Chain A
């Protein structure tokens, strides 16, 4: 493949022709192509995943506590007014 060409996972037909897989059916060939495609994906590294997970966890905790407090206050007010 030319260095300037876009990196591409091999097409199922290419894989079959290249002997990468033997006659295992179209589904197997397609699933192998899916795995090959996933290898070309840019995955976030461990540090990024940890950072984002931390942020999401803090965001969720803040939202849960804040909304729970607001809801509890509103519910007691409504109960007082309408019960």
Chain B
């Protein structure tokens, strides 16, 4: 697999795609640190250092590429785009018109993409407005304990310019994500989030070494590699439901029946339920902060059980929510009726199962069992870092723990697989050429491939 990456660098087209992706990620990192107009760079850094990162703010900061707490031009980051994409994805099976568009091929998909962009703009406007208002006051709601003014001038025109900058920044991030997906390697938005997580790891590793010593850090590193292996194992596993299509006649002889299979992953929902679960657990704390009611039962509950992440109550709630949300998300996004219907239309069937409703019930039952295992796996991956955190005294942790790890491994796997697939496509012309014993010294084609001289004649 490692040779895949090395070989892809030698292919001109793939090299261009790789460089394009790297360039866009760099652009995202620069924009994440470029301060928005009117923001006091020095004061923002003072407040960020004083306040640190906790709860929902830390998570929003993660999805903004670390830009939120720096009030940079990309302060909203990729969050509005991801939220919009999830909302559109979840509403598509529910809204009949959108469902029809989804089945309408590339044109329908393009329309849905356009709706996602409109929704991104709407989410950005709301978030940018709220952010600008939070930043305007001193002390700001963003850093309640910090008395430094975050804006140089707090007039309404300056606040509006700040909000507009955040909106435009979110749109540029969306453009980066989309272009990286279309013209680069891997999924753009995932790569941007991955870059944020990767940016924090060196600092956190250093903190861990300082606080717990090199021995503990090495053990944590070893556990991390073991967790990565577990994630790879589960993410690569597939339940292959055999599907048979009718035989076709080729001349007088029937061709082999094209047997294929319906691949079902154990974790169909990926990382979304874990993100939702951790977001939901931050909601009580958020309500308390907005209502300024720090003496109520909710405030007491949030302060004692839901902050820090190392309390058994938090872990239990996190596990339960992850399991429930996994079922919810898979049910909403994987339409078994649609899969059964498509299979029936194509003349396919699962051996031993009647096409139509029986097939739907059969896939449903397999999916329910797999999702049970998948949801427990997600919960374990999310909880293990929290348990380690509790055991280590709660001082050092990965940003978002298991969620970050799932994103990192998922993005790594997806990117390398895509690279591998594109390299395979590129290698087809070579595969068509039969090797001959009197081959001359290999030369290089326009794409940078090593091509024997005889194969050039074949191309001609």
**Binding site secondary structure of chain B:** helix
Interface membership of A21, Cβ < 8 A: no
Known interface pairs A34-B373, A52-B236; A67-B29 also in contact (CB < 8 Å)? yes
- In the bound complex, CA of A67 to CA of B192 (Å): 11
Whether B233 contacts A44 by the Cβ 8 Å rule is: yes
Q: Which chain A residue has the least Cβ–Cβ distance from B233? A: A49
Whether B372 lies near A34 (C-beta < 8 A) is yes
A21–B248 CA distance with the chains assembled, in angstroms? 44
**B242 contacts partner chain A, Cβ-Cβ < 8 Å:** yes
Question: Once the chains bind, are B198 and A60 in contact (CB under 8 Å)?
Answer: yes
Question: Any chain A CB within 8 A of the CB of B412?
Answer: yes
A20 on the B face (CB < 8 A): no
| Chain A 3-38 interface residues, beta-carbon cutoff 8 Å to B | 4-9, 11, 30-31, 33-34, 37-38
- Considering the chains assembled together, what is the distance between the CA atoms of A54 and B415 in angstroms? 14
Contacts of B350 in A (CB 8 A): 6
Could you list some 15 contacts between A and B, CB below 8 A? A2-B351, A7-B242, A9-B369, A30-B372, A38-B373, A42-B237, A42-B239, A43-B236, A49-B236, A55-B412, A55-B413, A56-B228, A68-B202, A75-B33, A82-B42
Instruction: Tell me whether B365 and A64 are in contact (CB under 8 A).
Output: no
Residues of A within 8 Å of B, CB-based: how many?
45
Q: Are B236 and A67 in contact (CB under 8 A)?
A: no
B232 touches A6 (CB 8 A): no
Once the chains bind, are A68 and B238 in contact (CB under 8 Å)? Answer: no
Closest-by-CB residue of A relative to B238 is: A42
Q: Evaluate contact between A1 and B238: CB separation under 8 angstroms.
A: no
Residues of B contacting A2 with CB < 8 Å?
351-352
Contact in complex: A42, B416 (CB < 8 Å): no
- Give residues 413-430 of B contacting A (CB, 8 Å): 413, 415-416
Known: A52-B413, A63-B198, A70-B26. 18 other contacts (CB 8 A): A8-B352, A8-B362, A31-B372, A37-B369, A37-B373, A41-B237, A49-B236, A51-B1, A53-B229, A54-B2, A55-B1, A57-B225, A64-B199, A67-B29, A68-B198, A68-B199, A78-B34, A82-B42
Task: Report A39-83 CB contacts with B as 1/0, cut-off 8 Å.
Answer: 011111000111111111111100110111011001100100011
B201 → A minimal CB distance (Å): 5
B contact residues around A7 at 8 Å (CB): 242
State how many angstroms separate the Cβ of A2 from the closest Cβ of chain B.
Answer: 6
A37-B370 contact in complex given A42-B238, A67-B29, C-beta closer than 8 Å: yes
State the Cβ distance, A79 to closest chain B Cβ, in Å: 8
Which of chain B's residues has its CB closest to A9's CB?
B369
Q: Determine which residue in A44, A63, A68, A78 has the highest number of CB atoms from chain B within 10 A of its CB, and name it.
A: A63
